[in-house]
């Protein structure tokens, strides 16, 4: 293997920052090969505790107790642990558990769990003093606790992936929808301002998500900040005087500081990339920034210093300045729709051999984060074209619904017409498709729709049969996925028509299939039925089955194996 390729495969990352009351900052790093919780203390970095499985979502109490989540082999059945600096205790192990928030005095930890029926996420509170857990309220559907307000917890309730409300659930079990609305709207990420008001993200009566302010008692709300792009995250300073917020501009994050009245806005200088997990806690503002030339790292923000890096994960000798930042283009699809695409260009002149790289979701967006596989492909001489086909987020409410149910053919044709555009412009002649999850689904459908366009395809943890996918995905996910794809009862014929397995005879190019055995979202039976069908027809299929992974590849040793095999497969079939 080329040394530079080997280095890129092993680049490490840090994310999920969490300030501690003593000034430390917790974060998750995969420097050991498995995501583990570390802490930064005045320039020193160390592991919180040794742990075998991956760790996630560190959450520090005002007294310094750390809560975190861990699953087994990527199965996403998250258990919750507490670590008080001396002892480790598992407090939630049944079902899937979602960490929420510590009470202001550090006594209670709120979380939700679907242990009751594997479908509905009820609200629970753990008492650190007594060691007892209380089920506060039975709640319908998917619910994520965010913050305490008075004697209750602010919980985001998911009506669908694109329609959410904020509930205030008090400790006596009373639950009240404080963002009740007409039509579809996102209401999420509540942060209390005082005993009566909250800031939150919303797109009620708007194409884009803005920052809103709500009087919880009266239900009166108004936009505090509304733009022609999404406000993607925000954090409020402890004294309530400043707000840090990031906006999504063509996929790139822009970070701003404003006073609480939103009358003065200062753009914070940062490298091209994406801001995630923005927090301002215990007087410390932190965030995750991921960009092609920075990697994925934890940063802090100070009014006097601006953004500064807290972590510097091993880059294995790679020069980050050599990484490629994508350019944004738009191309015309079959019906005249202009589709945005991120273009990662090699340094050699065109025409290129191209990889069309398809994101998952579909309610997601291809963004200019640091992605080792993408940079590997570019370093190997391939043009990477990553479209935000119709149905992607980041371009308003109207755009995200252009692929619903039977309109999904439009997204498939967006992929096909990207290939036609690349060829017509002389940018690329030979092309391979690659995608994971929903991107894997689109890979298969595009290969079947226009068999002659592709030299090969790489499908990772993808949906093969929409009927069996909906029947077998995790119980709590089915209702939300049916809102996107159609229901088994009302739209079965549409689901069958849009299932790759029913068009497998038209897939002619060599195909690589990659799937984790423990995948709870897209069960491995999806991959098994596709591989069996294609091999039965004599097609060329390379199948990689990962025993210790779920929906994605979290372990470094698996990433190294898979990325190496992908590059080998492309060299054999794309050149």
Tens-place pLDDT, residues 321-368: 999 999 999 999 999 999 999 999 999 999 999 999 999 988 899 999
Q: State residue 471's pLDDT score.
A: 87
Q: What is the share, in percent, of the chain residues with pLDDT greater than 70?
A: 100
396-453: per-residue pLDDT in tens?
A: 999 999 998 889 999 999 999 999 999 999 999 999 999 999 999 999 999 999 999 9
182-217: per-residue pLDDT in tens?
A: 999 999 999 999 889 999 999 999 999 999 999 999
Of 268, 259, 320, 267, the residue nearest 290 (C-alpha) = 320
The answer to whether residue 294 scores a pLDDT higher than 90 is yes
Secondary structure element (H or E) that encloses residue 511, with its range: strand 511-516
Order of strands across the sheet that contains 242-249? 230-236, 242-249, 252-259, 265-268
At residue 1 the predicted structure's pLDDT band, cuts being 50, 70 and 90, is: low
Dihedral Cα 466, 470, 471, 477, nearest 10 deg: 160
12-38: per-residue pLDDT in tens?
A: 999 999 999 999 999 999 999 889 999
- Partner residues linked to 104 by β-bridges: none
Of 415, 363, 361, 420, the residue nearest 389 (C-alpha) = 415
Find the angle CA(463)-CA(465)-CA(467) to the nearest 5 degrees: 115
Q: What's the mean pLDDT in 130-155?
A: 96
Report the alpha-carbon distance of residue 487 to residue 467 in Å, rounded. 9
Q: State residue 52's pLDDT score.
A: 87
Secondary structure element (H or E) that encloses residue 273, with its range: none
Q: What is the mean pLDDT of the chain?
A: 94
Q: State residue 278's pLDDT score.
A: 97
Q: State residue 5's pLDDT score.
A: 75
> Domains in the chain, ordered, with CATH?
324-573 (3.40.50.1820)
65-79: per-residue pLDDT in tens?
A: 999 999 988 888 999
């Amino acid at each position: 293997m080329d040394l530079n390729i080997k280095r890129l495969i092993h680049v490490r990352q840090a994310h999920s920052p969490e300030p501690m009351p003593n000034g430390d900052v917790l974060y998750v790093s995969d420097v050991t090969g498995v995501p583990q919780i570390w802490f930064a203390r005045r320039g020193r970095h160390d592991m919180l505790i040794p742990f075998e499985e991956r760790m996630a979502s560190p959450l520090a109490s005002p007294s310094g107790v750390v809560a975190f989540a861990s699953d087994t082999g990527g199965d996403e059945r998250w258990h919750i642990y507490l670590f008080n600096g001396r002892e480790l205790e598992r407090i939630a192990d049944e079902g899937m558990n979602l960490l929420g928030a510590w009470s202001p005095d550090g006594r209670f930890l709120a979380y939700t769990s679907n242990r009751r029926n594997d479908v509905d996420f009820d609200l629970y509170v753990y008492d650190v003093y007594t060691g007892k857990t209380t089920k506060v309220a039975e709640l319908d559907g998917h619910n994520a606790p965010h913050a305490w307000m008075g004697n209750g917890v602010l919980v985001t309730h998911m009506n669908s992936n694109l329609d959410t409300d904020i509930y205030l659930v008090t400790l006596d079990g009373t639950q009240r929808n404080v963002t009740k609305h007409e039509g579809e709207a996102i209401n999420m990420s509540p942060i209390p301002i005082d005993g009566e008001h909250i800031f939150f993200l919303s797109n009620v009566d708007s194409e884009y998500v803005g920052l809103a302010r709500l009087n919880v008692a009266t239900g009166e709300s108004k936009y505090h900040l509304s733009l022609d792009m999404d406000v993607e995250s925000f954090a409020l300073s402890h004294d309530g005087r400043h707000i840090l917020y990031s906006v999504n501009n063509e996929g790139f994050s822009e970070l701003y500081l404003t006073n609480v009245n939103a009358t003065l806005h200062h753009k914070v200088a940062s490298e091209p990339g994406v801001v995630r997990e923005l927090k301002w806690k215990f007087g410390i503002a932190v965030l995750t920034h991921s960009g092609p030339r920075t990697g994925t790292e934890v940063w802090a923000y100070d009014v006097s210093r601006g953004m500064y890096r807290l972590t510097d994960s091993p880059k294995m000798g790679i020069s980050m300045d050599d990484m490629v930042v994508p350019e944004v283009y738009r191309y015309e699809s079959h019906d005249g729709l202009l589709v945005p695409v991120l273009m990662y260009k090699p340094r050699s002149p065109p025409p290129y051999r191209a990889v069309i790289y398809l994101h998952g979701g579909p309610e997601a967006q291809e963004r200019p984060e640091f992605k080792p596989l993408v940079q590997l492909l570019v370093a190997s001489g391939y043009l990477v074209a990553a479209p935000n086909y119709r149905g992607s987020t980041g371009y308003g409410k109207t755009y995200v619904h252009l692929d619903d149910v039977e309109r999904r053919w439009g997204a498939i044709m967006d992929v096909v017409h990207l290939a036609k555009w690349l060829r017509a412009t002389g940018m690329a002649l030979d092309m391979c498709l690659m995608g994971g999850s929903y991107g894997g689904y689109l890979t298969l459908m595009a290969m079947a729709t226009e068999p002659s366009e592709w030299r090969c395809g790489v499908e990772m943890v993808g949906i093969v049969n929409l009927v069996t996918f909906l029947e077998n995905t995790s119980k709590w996910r089915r209702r939300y996925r049916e809102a996107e794809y159609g229901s088994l009862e009302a739209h079965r014929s549409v689901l069958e028509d849009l299932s790759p397995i029913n068009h497998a005879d038209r897939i002619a190019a060599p195909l690589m299939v990659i799937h984790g055995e423990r995948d709870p979202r897209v069960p491995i039976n999806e991959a098994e039925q596709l591989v069996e069908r294609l091999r039965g027809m004599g097609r060329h299929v390379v199948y990689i089955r990962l025993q210790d992974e779920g929906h994605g590849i979290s372990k470094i040793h698996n990433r190294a194996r898979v990325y190496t095999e992908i590059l080998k497969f492309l060299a054999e079939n794309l050149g």
